Structure 1
């Protein structure tokens, strides 16, 4: 199994949880990928470092280590390349994460097929600002605020996301 690790090192103890996740996954024979920007931190580990797009293209799934914000950040790439995301919560309360950092032994179930995928809807919003049109994709919610000469041109719910 090929897995892209997406840590949020701004979270307290995320380095330790990422290292523990790495060790658990490698014990099960996973090939791990990580964005090149983390090479200075995790370069001594047996990880393939490449661009985010290349990591996501090559992987079977993404593991986001942080919190709900971390999952939201990597959800666009996950949706774009149709890759499932597993969230590991490093913070206080994670609504979207499937695992808490204290449950890393449950990662073994990935290799025995003892898991289910939950489909999540993605939101596509097209905004017209004067003569300029912008498109946005989001997981979970979109905030609409007042802006001069801007209006929502189109709003669509997509069922492409998998978490």
Structure 2
């Protein structure tokens, strides 16, 4: 088995679980490749001398990898997606962050999780992505024109709202007067969209959510649409440009630029161990069913 490992941040209390992860992989004769910057950081912090083969970009990976392990929080998994892209390498998220809707393996469950992987005691859940185009074409997104969680347009450098004229499959929907507008996948429905009043959507649903950010027209509400829908935005406002974010990556576009959002032509494969589930994660992370009145 061939495994890639990536972590975005090193944390002071990471010593134990990084060593545990590597030990569990080594003793099972798993071939380990580690993101170059991550290996440099934890080798320095832990005084380790073992150097594993490394990778530093998407072009260093290929379909010979059986698994990709993301060590961190959900933000780390969003960065992991930029390495994996359309290679169909399943991702296992080890949570060393806070909330962890995507990175669901707790750091005290590493041994149990690796054993489950070896025994193939897991399911692979496919997560849809969004893809952006612009008219006129813009090179600001280069080849990173996709997002796992959401794509959002928002105001820039002003307290004034923007107007987002919105069309679905070419038909006019409405014009939102708001701080911005979010288009979310089911994966992203527990993130930015949720904080703006959007619904939670289970991962297997073939839907997107359009969620306004602080709308002035108070009757504007989140809208669930089929994921085959093509969404078009035309943004205007007092500033000459506006912001577009793809997950955590932010770019600027000129007013008058048409933004076209649709389903990406590939999916991300997430490993869901058989002792966990999305509904269990919801209960744990959102404290559903817990009486907090005392």
How far did residue 103 of structure 1 move?
0.6
1:137 maps to: 146
1:1-163, aligned counterparts within 5 Å?
Answer: 1-40=1-40, 41-42=42-43, 44-45=49-50, 47-53=52-58, 55-57=60-62, 58-106=64-112, 107-128=114-135, 132=138, 135=141, 136-146=145-155, 147=242, 148-163=255-270
Q: For residues 70 and 153 of structure 1, do their structure 2 counterparts lie closer, same or farther at Cα, with a shift above 3 Å needed?
A: same
- Structure 1: 5+ residue stretches without partners: none
Question: CA deviation digits over 1:111-142, x for unaligned, max 9?
Answer: 111111111111111133x5535551010211
Secondary structure of 1:81's aligned partner: coil
Which has the higher mean CA deviation after the structures are superposed, 63-72 or 4-13? Answer: 4-13
After TM superposition, the runs of 4+ consecutive aligned structure 1 residues lying more than 4 A away are: none
Normalising by the residue count of structure 2, what TM-score does the alignment of the two structures yield? Answer: 0.50
Q: For residues 18 and 149 of structure 1, do their structure 2 counterparts lie closer, same or farther at Cα, with a shift above 3 Å needed?
A: farther
Q: For residues 51 and 131 of structure 1, do their structure 2 counterparts lie closer, same or farther at Cα, with a shift above 3 Å needed?
A: closer
How far did residue 12 of structure 1 move?
4.5
Q: Hey, what's the Cα distance between the residues in 1 that align with 2:31 and 2:102?
A: 25
Which has the higher mean CA deviation after the structures are superposed, 140-149 or 20-29? Answer: 140-149
Q: Which has the higher contact order (CA 8 A, sep 6+)?
A: 1
Higher helix share: 1
Q: For residues 50 and 92 of structure 1, do their structure 2 counterparts lie closer, same or farther at Cα, with a shift above 3 Å needed?
A: closer
Q: Hey, what's the Cα distance between the residues in 1 that align with 2:36 and 2:139?
A: 32
Q: For residues 15 and 75 of structure 1, do their structure 2 counterparts lie closer, same or farther at Cα, with a shift above 3 Å needed?
A: farther
- Structure 2: 5+ residue stretches without partners: 156-241, 243-254, 271-294
Secondary structure of 2:123's aligned partner: coil
The RMSD of aligned alpha carbons is 2.3
